[in-house]
Amino acid sequence: MNGPVSIEVLKQHLIDPEICIRCNTCEETCPIDAITHDDNNYVVRADVCNGCMACVSPCPTGAIDNWRTVLRAEAYSIDEQFTWDVLPAQGTTADDALRAGQAEGGVGAQAAAEPAGIEVDTVRGSTVPPWSAAKPYVNLYTHKAPLRATVVGNYRLTEAATESDIHHIVLDFGTTPFPVLEGQSLGILPPGTAPDGRAHHARQYSIASPRDGERKGYNNISLTVKRVTQDYQGKRVDGVCSNYLCDLKKGDTVEVIGPFGNTFLMPNHADSHLLMICTGTGSAPMRAMTEYRRRRRLKGATGKLMLFFGARTQEELPYFGPLLNLPKDFIDTNFAFSRTPGQPKRYVQDVMRERAADVAQLLRDDSTYIYVCGLKGMEDGVLQALQAIADQHGLAWETLWPKLKRDGRLHLETY
């Protein structure tokens, strides 16, 4: 019998374990919970993924954008994917079957077409950069070929008496290029192995310095790192990489991969405004953008900067002193302290509401770009504050929000 063969071929979505930095962005972004992870890998459930692509552009490394043509019956299970160190090569069976099916007009090849590309509006922020952002470099250095950087500075930013131990760490790349833009991140490979005997995964940190160097004209960058001493439930846990970094001495070397990130980037047109909202170490990209604007201001950048910055107390707010020294006509800085003795608890979203008229003025302007970085919990609160402010001032949030997202003007990075 030579009739058409019934074969169901699938374009299976996979994540490259060699490049993935386990930042959880894909899992958070997936609107249908097709992505999951264990201690080893992030993986995609073949029977759930519908190829909507919502996860693809937010992925900072591009590890998410991998596809293999397989017979549906032979799709890689998540248990198999959990064990991988590298992606499997494209096999031939499915390709042969696909070609045979197509040649014979066979049934079942439908799922092997390009991913569905359906419109997904569950993504809360932009998945595209501002139109005027510079083109970033990504993945120049990988797990297999990291770059070695030298520590040239490591300073505690928070008062010694406080619980929050936040460091400003400066890394120098010598003569090897490590080109970055404000808003990008890098990965640090901590030495040693995890309890399962495998090398530790890279940990991702936002870069706190502008593109032209922590020190202008130098090939160095800075990071803002908080020493992790407890987990989300308050249980004692010593963060592997944060403790490693905070304990580094001048002259030590570290392995760096990256850079990562191609959407959380600043606009480059001179009259663009930045509305920046952050807590704690989420201040790193805001510092980078602010400093770049400060350097550019001398060359005629005219856009406004407005910052909302939350911390437990003034003593625990990184860069408090330097921020206060910036001219008031350059940046409108607003602090929110949640644990100042004798004072009511204030979060960034509370202070945004107090400054509603000025926030609304920025929201009204198509040249305003919004950046939110810090604790996961703040994301809802900040979006609700933006909604309330917009609605009160006759700017229908329902139409403004999708427009901000579409135009690369609302960037969210929370953890």
**Residue 179 in tokens:** 């080109």
Question: Dihedral of CA 353/355/360/363: which sign?
Answer: negative
Q: Which stretch, 3-11, 99-107, 291-299, 374-382, contacts ligand A2P (CB under 6 A)?
A: 374-382
Contact (Cβ atoms closer than 8 angstroms) between residue 25 and residue 58: yes
Among residues 142 and 229, whose Cβ is nearest to ligand A2P? 229
Among residues 377 and 402, whose Cβ is nearest to ligand A2P? 377
Question: Which residue in 205, 347, 371, 397 binds ligand A2P (CB under 6 A)?
Answer: 347
Question: Is 249 within any annotated ligand binding site?
Answer: no
Cis peptide before 259 (omega within 30 of 0): yes
Among residues 170 and 382, whose Cβ is nearest to ligand A2P? 382
Q: What is the dihedral of CA 64, 287, 182, 227, to 10 degrees?
A: -40
Identify the DSSP state of 227: P
Q: Which stretch, 173-181, 262-270, 309-317, 322-330, contacts ligand A2P (CB under 6 A)?
A: 309-317
Distance in angstroms (rounded) separating the CA atoms of residues 384 and 228 = 29
Using the rule CB under 6 A, is 378 a contact of ligand A2P?
yes
Identify the DSSP state of 43: E
Using the rule CB under 6 A, is 348 a contact of ligand A2P?
yes
Using the rule CB under 6 A, is 239 a contact of ligand A2P?
no
Contact (Cβ atoms closer than 8 angstroms) between residue 183 and residue 236: no
Using the rule CB under 6 A, is 171 a contact of ligand A2P?
no
Distance in angstroms (rounded) separating the CA atoms of residues 20 and 392 = 42
Closest CA to 205 of 189, 194, 192: 189
Q: How far is the CB of 373 from ligand A2P (least distance, A)?
A: 11
Question: Which residue in 99, 339, 364, 406 binds ligand A2P (CB under 6 A)?
Answer: 339
Total residues at the site for ligand A2P (CB under 6 A)?
Answer: 14
Among residues 163 and 366, whose Cβ is nearest to ligand A2P? 163
Provide the binding-site residues for ligand A2P, judged by CB under 6 A.
Answer: 164, 279-280, 310-312, 338-339, 347-348, 375, 377-378, 381
